């Protein structure tokens, strides 16, 4: 991994552009760049939470296995989206879903334990990271709610009184 | 002495006995005379051949959900004011044929359309109350617009002869004075009557009105100052006798549309039956539905228009569901349309203060009371700002 | 920047707005399960010549004996000799239309309603967010942009449907992209065939960098989707008068007479279906209004 490549990649991430040089360096210290092929697995449900990922380019699918239905794709993370936010949230102990690349993808990988430690030591940086994670979780929650409401369902699908 | 002559804008007087001659005169002019008659313990609008068929000596006691016909000793024809019927059924019939489709040709047939035959009756409406005249003028704006005009409404409206009768005895649920529509008609009539003890004052409103009186069978005199004074006294007294007040109706636009989450809506919905009686008796309600009526072979189809009501459960049905599934939402729609949204659509209130919706509500809901309660404690104004209080 | 508040731009072409003109069904194009585009051609040559519509307007299609249905026009404004209506089967009338054979006759009343003000948006960045059957009413806008591409800045279609099979006009996306229109597509629920985005339409805004002073948003789809699209547009500081929504209500007459489509003081058939968010803002979050 080329350090220069890592640095310039980190600088393309919008929320990294807003943090101070000191904070940037701390995060860069636990960051790495990783490339995956299409269909390559990033992690599985139940895996230990080792890394937080930021998609730079490509597409990562979040999937959950349902017996009888197989792997159900519930979400895709697009460039600049976060994968594995639960690794930074204390209460979540293991991966809640699986992640697999749909397209050949490049990701920034942050060591989750390292990130949590930095956050404990440097609360200002910790707050910035948590604020960003809160936005991610809020956005996922809204998406999940709208998916759950099945807003495209139609009475002619056979539900409701007009079906 | 100069011969007195009839002139538009002047007021003359006739003996009450002349009313018969007026009815006959209108019939001879080619009109179907219709007016109030007592039937089934109430007042309906029906054909008239003679003054004796009018509700002479009758009056009514009206309150929310109650109409009581009273027979008295007085010799007034028009002391009783309104019943459940308005005059809208003559211009906007409850059911009418719009057009017929006739299938023409075999495979890939097409349709021949014939517009409904216009029977265009000529009605002479005797006994239109000032509130009802105002309602007719409100419906004129609904059915006859610059962009298009309902042909059925227009032909009947153009052919109609209107005799208004000013109200000396408001019925108990009326509030025309608050709405600015009565108790005296000021314009828009052919003739306007004010009933006094032995006479009618007749104000001439149009050329047709003038022509109706210009007949040797009708004896008239110029209205004396004494009679004009008596009429004015009656009018002033009538204004004081209004059953209800609804001050500043124009302020209701913000007060109702800015209060769409007021708890009173839910409270009224607990009593409202969503029966649509109010929309039927209301002289300005105009909603209609259209259906294709046919027999099984389906080669002749009649497109029929009929009255509809925003209280009907499937009035607001769309492919993905019903946008007003609850009585609360439908009652709110009716009231806010009538008293608020109407201003935005047609430039005036939709209500003329006739009181029918109050009298004929089987649940006895007093809509003026409901409005007054909502506007008194504004919950939230339009655009989320503080509600406007009257 | 002040854009005109949408108003009805054309009156209907028949002598009375309740009288249908007659058209022939010339083609049916299946778009998705339960959804097809019905192509109509007026029988009368004079009407064929004079008929025109603006994007976002609708016709009321009439199958005598079954009734009528209001359907948005989804075809190219510059080719009105054949008019396309993309219809989802929902009830008696739409099913009656589906049972018609080629060259059968049906009635057409219209066009009615207000339109997307795309012609007044020269120089602007255009964002069209649609969901499900909400894309057809925007397709005439897309065609206009393709025919006048240099009139506009960034143009993006943000589109989603429930499943990949429900996506409309998929065969055309590449031609739109070739014309310089960004097309972002998502589905609520993927199937095994889908390698695209899984998520919801409002989320697609996160892919964009918008200049609020120069942006116009058009949205059409389920009301809940439009609500969240509007919130995303507002969060990106688009002025309320530059966000346009297309509402749907029960329509019978099409010209503001029968009363059914009312939304507050508006008749959705006549003052809409296209409204600015500013017009609807007082009623937007009032349930069952």
User: What CATH number corresponds to the domain at position A107?
Assistant: 2.60.120.10
How much of chain C, in percent, has pLDDT values that exceed 70? 95
The residues spanned by each domain of chain B are: 11-94+118-240, 249-298+306-384
Nearest of B40, B140, B126, B47 to residue B83 by alpha carbon: B40
Residue A46 and residue A69: Cα distance in Å, rounded? 19
Do C166 and A152 lie within an 8 Å CB cutoff? yes
Q: Write out the H or E segment, with its range, that includes residue C70.
A: strand C67-72
pLDDT at residue number B298: 83
C-contacting residues in B 31-60 (Cβ below 8 Å): none
CATH topology of domain C118-283: Rossmann fold (3.40.50)
Do B325 and C222 lie within an 8 Å CB cutoff? no
Residue A113 is encoded by which pair of tokens? Answer: 């334990």
Residue B322 and residue C260: Cα distance in Å, rounded? 12
A-contacting residues in B 313-352 (Cβ below 8 Å): 319-321
pLDDT at residue number B223: 94
Do A152 and C196 lie within an 8 Å CB cutoff? no
ipTM: 0.92
pLDDT at A160 over 50: no
Tell which wins on pLDDT, C30 or A3: C30
pLDDT at residue number B384: 47
At B126-185, the pLDDT tens digits run 999 999 999 999 999 999 998 888 989 999 999 999 999 999 999 889 999 999 999 999
Contact B61/B68 with Cβ under 8 angstroms? yes
pLDDT at residue number C188: 95
Q: How near does any CA of chain B get to the CA of C102, in Å?
A: 8
The partner residue sitting opposite A152, judged by closest CB among C89, C132, C206, is C132
Asked if residue A144 belongs to a domain, the reply is yes
The partner residue sitting opposite C65, judged by closest CB among B113, B294, B337, is B294
Residue C16 is given by DSSP the state S
**Long-range contacts (CB closer than 8 Å, 24 or more residues apart) made by B102-108:** B102/B299, B102/B300, B103/B298, B103/B299, B103/B300, B103/C64, B108/C24, B108/C101, B108/C103, B108/C104, B108/C105
At C114-136, the pLDDT tens digits run 999 999 999 999 999 999 999 99
Do B319 and A160 lie within an 8 Å CB cutoff? no
Do B289 and C252 lie within an 8 Å CB cutoff? yes
> Which position has the token pair 């919706």?
B357
Residue B359 is encoded by which pair of tokens? Answer: 């009298």
Do A156 and C88 lie within an 8 Å CB cutoff? yes
CATH H superfamily, domain C21-112: Translation factors (2.40.30.10)
The partner residue sitting opposite B383, judged by closest CB among C107, C282, C288, is C282
Nearest residue on chain C to A81, alpha-carbon basis: C206
Mean predicted confidence (pLDDT) in A94-115:
95
Residue B15 and residue B4: Cα distance in Å, rounded? 17
What's phi and psi for B192, nearest 5 deg? Answer: -130, 125
Nearest of B171, B349, B305 to residue B244 by alpha carbon: B171
Contact C201/C130 with Cβ under 8 angstroms? yes
Beta carbons within 8 Å of B270's beta carbon, 6+ residues apart: none
Mean predicted confidence (pLDDT) in C146-169:
97
Instruction: State the CB neighbour count (10 A cutoff) for residue B44.
Output: 14
At A106-147, the pLDDT tens digits run 999 999 999 999 999 999 999 999 999 999 999 999 999 999
Contact C255/C17 with Cβ under 8 angstroms? yes
Residue B3 is given by DSSP the state P
* Per-residue burial over B136-160, b = 16 or more CB atoms within 10 Å of its CB, e = otherwise: bebbbebbbeeebebbbbbbbbeeb
Strand pairing category for B161-165 and B191-195: parallel
**Which of A155, A157, A158, A163 to mutate to probe the B interface, most B CBs <10 Å?**
A155
B329 shares contact with chain C (CB less than 8 Å)? yes
pLDDT at residue number C7: 56
**Subunits touching A (CB < 8 Å, at least 3 pairs)?**
B, C
At C173-231, the pLDDT tens digits run 999 999 999 999 999 999 989 999 999 999 999 989 999 999 999 999 999 999 999 99
pLDDT at residue number A127: 95
Boundaries of domain holding A58:
3-151
The segments of chain B whose pLDDT lies below 70 read 1-3, 107, 379-390
pLDDT at residue number C179: 98
Do C89 and A156 lie within an 8 Å CB cutoff? yes
DSSP string, A59-91: EEEEEEEETTTEEEEEEEE-TT-EE-GGGGSTT
Nearest residue on chain C to B142, alpha-carbon basis: C257
pLDDT at C1 over 70: no
At C19-43, the pLDDT tens digits run 999 999 999 999 999 999 999 999 9
C-contacting residues in B 238-277 (Cβ below 8 Å): 257-258, 260-261
Residue B324 and residue C202: Cα distance in Å, rounded? 26
Residue C161 and residue C108: Cα distance in Å, rounded? 29
Nearest of B332, B352, B371 to residue B285 by alpha carbon: B352
Give the total number of structural domains in chain A.
1
The arrangement of strands across the sheet holding B161-165 comes to B42-47, B32-39, B123-128, B161-165, B191-195, B199-204, B11-15, B221-222
Mean predicted confidence (pLDDT) in A73-87:
94
The residues spanned by each domain of chain C are: 21-112, 118-283
Mean of per-residue pLDDT scores for chain C:
93
pLDDT at residue number A163: 26
Contact B84/B60 with Cβ under 8 angstroms? no
Nearest residue on chain C to B384, alpha-carbon basis: C282
Residue B19 and residue B55: Cα distance in Å, rounded? 13
């Amino acid at each position: 991994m080329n350090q220069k490549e890592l640095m310039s990649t980190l600088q393309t991430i919008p929320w990294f552009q807003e943090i101070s040089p000191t904070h940037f360096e701390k995060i860069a210290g636990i960051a790495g760049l990783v490339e995956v092929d299409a269909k390559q697995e990033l992690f599985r449900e139940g895996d230990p939470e080792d890394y937080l990922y930021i998609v730079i380019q490509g597409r990562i699918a979040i999937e959950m296995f349902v017996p009888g239905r197989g792997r159900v794709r519930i979400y895709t993370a697009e460039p600049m989206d976060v994968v594995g936010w639960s690794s930074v949230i204390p209460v979540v102990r293991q991966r809640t879903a699986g992640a697999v690349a749909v397209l050949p993808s490049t990701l920034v990988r942050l060591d989750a334990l390292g990130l949590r430690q930095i956050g404990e030591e440097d609360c200002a940086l910790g707050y910035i990271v948590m604020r960003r994670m809160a936005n991610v979780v809020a956005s996922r929650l809204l998406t999940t709610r709208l998916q759950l409401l099945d807003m495209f369902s139609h009475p002619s699908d056979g539900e409701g009184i007009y079906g | 002495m100069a011969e007195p002559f009839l002139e538009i804008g002047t007021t003359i007087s006739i003996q009450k006995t002349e009313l018969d001659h007026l009815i006959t005169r209108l019939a001879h002019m080619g009109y179907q005379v219709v007016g109030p008659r007592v039937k089934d313990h109430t007042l309906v609008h029906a054909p008239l051949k003679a003054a004796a068929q009018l509700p002479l000596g009758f009056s009514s006691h009206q309150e929310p959900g109650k109409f009581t016909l009273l027979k008295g000793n007085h010799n007034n024809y028009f002391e009783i004011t309104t019943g459940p019927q308005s005059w809208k059924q003559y211009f906007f019939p409850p059911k009418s044929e719009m057009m017929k489709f006739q299938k023409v040709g075999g495979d890939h047939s097409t349709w021949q359309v014939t517009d409904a035959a216009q029977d265009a009756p000529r009605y002479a409406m005797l006994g239109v109350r000032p509130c009802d005249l105002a309602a007719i003028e409100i419906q004129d704006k609904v059915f006859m617009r610059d962009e298009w005009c309902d042909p059925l409404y227009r032909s009947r409206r153009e052919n109609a002869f209107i005799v208004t009768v000013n109200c000396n005895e408001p019925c108990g649920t009326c509030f025309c004075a608050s709405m600015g529509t009565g108790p005296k008609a000021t314009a828009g009539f052919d003739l306007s009557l004010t009933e006094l003890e032995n006479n009618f004052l007749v104000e001439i409103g149009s050329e047709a009105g003038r022509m109706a009186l210009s007949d040797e069978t009708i004896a008239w005199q110029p209205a004396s100052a004494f009679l004009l004074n008596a009429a004015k006294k009656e009018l002033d007294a009538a204004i004081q006798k209004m059953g209800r007040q609804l001050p500043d109706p124009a302020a209701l636009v913000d007060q109702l549309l800015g209060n769409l989450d007021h708890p009173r809506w839910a409270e009224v919905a607990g009593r409202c039956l969503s029966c649509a009686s109010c929309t039927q008796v209301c002289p300005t309600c105009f909603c209609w539905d259209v259906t294709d009526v046919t027999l099984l072979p389906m080669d002749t189809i009649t497109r029929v228009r009929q009255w509809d009501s925003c209280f009907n459960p499937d009035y607001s049905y769309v492919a993905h569901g019903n946008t007003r599934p609850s009585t609360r939402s439908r009652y709110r729609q009716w009231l806010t349309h009538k008293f608020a949204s109407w201003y935005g659509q047609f430039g005036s209130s939709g209500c003329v203060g006739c009181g029918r919706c109050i009298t004929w509500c089987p649940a006895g809901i007093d809509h003026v009371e409901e409005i007054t309660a909502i506007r008194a404690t504004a919950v939230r104004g339009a655009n989320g700002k503080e509600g406007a209080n009257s | 920047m002040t854009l005109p508040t949408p108003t009805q731009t054309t009156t209907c072409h028949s002598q009375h707005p309740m009288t249908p003109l007659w058209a022939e069904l010339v083609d049916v194009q299946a778009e998705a399960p339960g959804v097809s585009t019905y192509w109509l051609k007026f029988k009368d040559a004079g009407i064929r010549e004079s008929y025109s519509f603006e994007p976002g307007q609708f016709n009321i299609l009439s199958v005598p004996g079954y009734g009528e249905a209001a359907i948005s026009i989804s075809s190219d404004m510059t080719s009105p000799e054949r008019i396309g209506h993309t219809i989802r089967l929902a009830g008696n009338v739409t099913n009656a239309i589906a049972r018609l054979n080629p060259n059968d006759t049906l009635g057409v009343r219209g066009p009615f309603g207000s339109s997307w003000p795309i012609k007044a948006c020269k120089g602007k960045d255009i964002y069209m967010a649609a969901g499900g059957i909400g894309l057809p009413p925007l397709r005439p806008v897309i065609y206009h942009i393709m025919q006048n591409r240099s009139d506009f800045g960034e143009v993006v279609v943000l589109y989603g449907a429930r499943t990949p099979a429900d996506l409309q006009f998929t065969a055309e996306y590449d031609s739109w992209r070739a014309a310089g229109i960004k097309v972002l597509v998502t589905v609520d629920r993927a199937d095994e065939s889908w390698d695209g985005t899984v998520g919801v339409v409002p989320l697609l805004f996160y892919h964009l960098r918008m200049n609020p002073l120069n942006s116009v948003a058009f949205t059409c789809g389920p009301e809940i989707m439009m609500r969240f699209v509007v919130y995303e547009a507002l969060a990106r500081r688009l002025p309320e008068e530059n966000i346009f929504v297309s509402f749907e209500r029960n329509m019978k007459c099409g010209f503001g007479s029968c009363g059914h489509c009312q939304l507050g003081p508006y008749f959705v058939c006549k003052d809409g279906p296209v409204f600015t968010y500013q017009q609807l803002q007082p009623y937007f979050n009032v349930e069952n209004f």
